[in-house]
Chain A
Amino acid sequence: MKFHWFNLMPYPYLPEDFRQTHRSVWVDVDSRLYDPVKGHAIYNDYLDLLEFAADLGFDGIGVNEHHANAYGLMPSPALMAATLARRTRDVSIILLGQSIALYNPPTRVAEEMAMLDVISGGRLIAGFPVGTSMDTNYAFGANPATLRERYQENHDLIIRAWTDPDVFPWNGKFNRLRYVNVWPRPIQKPHPPIWIPGGGSVETWDFCAENNYNYSYLSFSGFKRGAQLMNGFHDRVRELGHEFNPYQASFAQQIIVADSEAEAKDSYFDHARYFFERCLHVYPGFADAPGYRTEATIRAGLKSQVGGVSSGGAVGKSFEQCVDEGFLIAGNPDQVTEQMEHMIKSLSVGHVFCLMHIGDMPRDKCEKSTTLFAEQVMPRLRHLWAEYEDHWSPKPLSETAEPRAIRQQAATGVRA
């Protein structure tokens, strides 16, 4: 069983009455709410936390891409992955990912991911999300009528750019390149493992099953609601004649570990409420552009990836309700271990993205929860799925270069 530490990097200073005074946390959120001086401290705290988790023995640390929003401050996830690649060893760098339909030409993604794989010594997991409608259609202006077609073409181009050793021309519908020749090439062959984040569209299941990609189900509706969708994926894999393997599936879960259930509730739950009430406050008109979801997915009643239609689920609920319904896994280490085991088994997942920094949680609380998880929960769940082989984790070099120590010390912290 593998555990990855993820930080969405929300902006933690949205006002108390944000829901009442602003229509959306995404797309047209007021930029005057952002303070770049506070932002400086936040980025450094958030990156420190990812590195802290790596030190504690998490298998992977993850970053992802969002635009024009206060929900997640990583418009360029490759930048974040690059700093992590230099400051960590051994741990997988999960870039989940770059929204490949947005890059023109998408050879940019092939290049940046290859750079990250080479810098990190083969530790990269390459995430290929479609991206939310807010990010792709509204913030980046990508046409929803052709977004999925473009995603498909860009995927095909990136894979060929990584695997074809020869220079080739690409005469596509969305990309025309006379010379495709990516330098550098990734260390991992034929290419880094590919993980596909999805909210639950039937087309994504088939795509993952047919290409042997990891399906990463991201939802904030909790694992109890997620079980039906995740098992839909596993069923589809079998239907298409492939073997079931829990490591082909990942699930993102918000987790709070404290010394006691009372501490989890009293000291931590407000940060989760901040997340549910402010970070997921998406104007529904930005959640689902015409054509973003296929007709089949609309008919199946499947929700968009994040926000809008599915985001409000936990708003106004108590700590106990959030735990009961699976929005949160929270409590003392024993309780969390038990809930985690139930979640892992009911979803049949071999990878969990542990969302342990939630909303406006301060660094010290997050470090405590993360430490308790790493020391008292993770070891008791490691044995799960031991009978399966994980084909979806990186294969790094056995010996990697050591960055030299930094000579310049910030002795005083103040410059003349």
Chain B
Amino acid sequence: MSMQQLTAVVREGTAPVHYFRGGAGESVLYLHHIAGMQGWEPALSELATKFDIIAPYHPGFGPSEGLDDVDNGLDLVLHYVDFLDYLGLQSVRVVGHSFGAWIAAELAALYPDRVSRLVLANPVGIWDEEIGGEDVFAQNPGKPTEVLFAEPQMRENLILRDGTVDPVEIYVQEMKDLKAAAKFLWPIPDTGVARRLGRITAPTLIVGSTADKFIPSAYAGVWKRHIPNSDIKTIVHGGHLVNLEQPSRFATVAGSWLIQP
């Protein structure tokens, strides 16, 4: 599968966006989770067999700088409107995962004509005290993303890649990503998005993962209640980073929703 690593300045004076683009077919904007991306991930590669996948790093995540360019959800939405304009795309399918699902939902609520179909996987942004969820920002230093996996040791395999990468560099990167997420989600991941979800017109699939400790799968039902034309799929044994844990399952669930007209 041919994949390109690209950068774009979407608005004058802002930091360049780093993004991947690969595959062919209908364009799909993939908005990544709270802990960034592990490069061109297997799930993206699989989705790219059917779609034109565009996967940007959010401002302040991964190699992207520009956290100072965005202060709130509206800034993030406009950042992605500018990005779509830059790419010359009027309306796209969107897969948002975790933190990215929050942005995807905001984009679909504020600009319904720019989002034709929507997948929200383990979406962040609604807080319910009864459901709760682990404090992703109060984890043991040195292994802060462990809690995002169904089994803690999966961090070793999937982020540290079985010890083949420098743990210090990875730790610095994890803290950079979590800092960027914290800017919008600290101290409780309630972004107020629930008030705006009723504006979404795109057919929406909400994905919950049964072993997600950060966003327990019970939240999927809350999201569904707020989004008019929506459905739920549950991934068994999936943690918050189900895209890394079960890439094929993740790609199949998202892909079979997006492939519909």
Contacts and interface: CB of A to CB of B under 8 A. Distances in A.
Interface of A: 137-138, 141, 143-146, 283-291, 293, 295, 298-299, 308-309
A2 to B, nearest CB: 36
Interface stretch (B132-140, B197-205, B237-245, B247-255): B132-140
Interface residues of B, number: 22
Contacts of B168: 299
B183 A285 contact: no
A285 B172 contact: no
B180 A145 contact: yes
B83 interface: no
24 contacts: A138-B187, A143-B182, A143-B186, A143-B187, A144-B137, A145-B179, A145-B182, A145-B183, A146-B183, A283-B138, A285-B135, A285-B138, A285-B139, A285-B140, A286-B138, A289-B138, A290-B144, A290-B177, A290-B182, A291-B175, A291-B179, A295-B175, A298-B175, A309-B141
Interface string B140-179: 1100100000000000000000000000100110011111
B77 to A, nearest CB: 19
B138 A299 contact: no
Contacts of B171: 298
Contacts of A298: 171-172, 175
B218 interface: no
Given A291-B179, A293-B175, 16 more contacts: A137-B187, A138-B187, A141-B186, A143-B183, A143-B186, A144-B182, A145-B67, A145-B182, A286-B138, A287-B141, A288-B141, A290-B181, A290-B182, A291-B175, A295-B172, A308-B141
Nearest to A301: B168
Given A137-B186, A143-B182, A145-B183, A290 B175 contact: yes
9 closest residue pairs by CB, A with B: A291-B179, A290-B178, A145-B183, A290-B179, A285-B138, A143-B186, A141-B187, A145-B182, A145-B179
B160 to A, nearest CB: 17
A146 B183 CA distance: 7
B147 to A, nearest CB: 10
Contacts of A141: 186-187
Contacts of B186: 137, 141, 143-145, 289
Contacts of B183: 143, 145-146, 291
Contacts of B139: 285
A138 B139 CA distance: 12
Contacts of B140: 284-285
Contacts of A146: 183
Contacts of A285: 135, 138-141
Nearest to B188: A141
Interface string B66-78: 0100000000000
A141 B187 CA distance: 6
B80 to A, nearest CB: 20
Contacts of A308: 141
Contacts of B182: 143-145, 289-291
Contact of B172 (A137, A284, A299): A299
A144 B172 contact: no
A80 B211 CA distance: 48
B148 to A, nearest CB: 13
Interface string B201-233: 000000000000000000000000000000000
